[in-house]
Amino acid sequence: MIDLHTHSIFSDGVLVPSELVRRAEVHGVEAIAITDHADASNLDFIIPRIVAVAEALNDVKHIRVIPGIELTHIPPSHIPSLADQARSLGAKVVVLHGETIVEPVKLGTNRAGLRADIDILAHPGLITDEEAAMAAENGVFLEITARKGHSLTNGHVAKLAKKHGAGLVLNSDAHEPSDLITPKQAEQIALGAGL
């Protein structure tokens, strides 16, 4: 199992990266991306630290650690340039905080992200048919999430992804130890989303 959306103390998570990775490893995760929340104010602070810890841990752990970032509540017009900046700083996985129904994400975020150099549109909420088709066309994965609240639209996201051939990825969006999931829990979440 892989988990490409997690958070450490570099944003609103409660664990240092090493503990997050170890706890994920115990849960049966084989690869994990650390994707702390960022905008223009902290992108250049977070990514180099995650890159450094990933390099250090990949030398000694069986779990693969991937440096990433979650661009969060970014004005849609800024998403392309910040995604490019994240890549230049060493982010291997760029996640965009999508238009979840439980937060006031600016309308147009999903569409702007699908046109930018991102890998995953996290918790995209009530994504449209056109946006799901754009995700398929541009190779952006849509997220099925284990996160409370964000998961309310998993069934809708799965249905449109299947209809348009968009890739799906199931992530924990872990912020604390109890958010990490096992392969069995991931299977149940996928089944609950209609997959």
Q: What is the mean pLDDT of the chain?
A: 98
SS3 content of the chain, % helix, strand, coil (to 5): 45, 20, 40
Residue 61 has pLDDT above 90, yes or no: no
| Three-class secondary structure of residue 32 per DSSP | strand
State how far the Cα of 187 lies from the Cα of 193, in Å rounded to an integer.
10
Residue 162 has pLDDT above 90, yes or no: yes
pLDDT, tens digit, 9 for 90 and up, residues 122-131: 999 999 999 9
pTM score, whole prediction: 0.97
Q: List all residues 6 or more positions away from 161 whose beta carbon is below 8 Å from its beta carbon.
A: 132, 135, 136, 142, 167, 168
pLDDT, tens digit, 9 for 90 and up, residues 78-108: 999 999 999 999 999 999 999 999 999 999 9
State how far the Cα of 87 lies from the Cα of 90, in Å rounded to an integer.
5
Domain span at 67: 2-192
Question: Tell me, what's the pLDDT at 15?
Answer: 98
pLDDT grade for 185, boundaries at 50, 70 and 90: very high
Q: At what angle do helices 79-89 and 43-58 cross, to 10 degrees?
A: 40
CATH of the domain at 75: 3.20.20.140
Question: Tell me, what's the pLDDT at 188?
Answer: 98
pLDDT, tens digit, 9 for 90 and up, residues 138-155: 999 999 999 999 999 999
Structurally, the chain folds into a number of domains equal to: 1
Measured CA to CA in angstroms, residue 125 lies from 7, 40, 107, 146 at distances of 20, 24, 11, 13
Percent of the chain with pLDDT over 70: 100
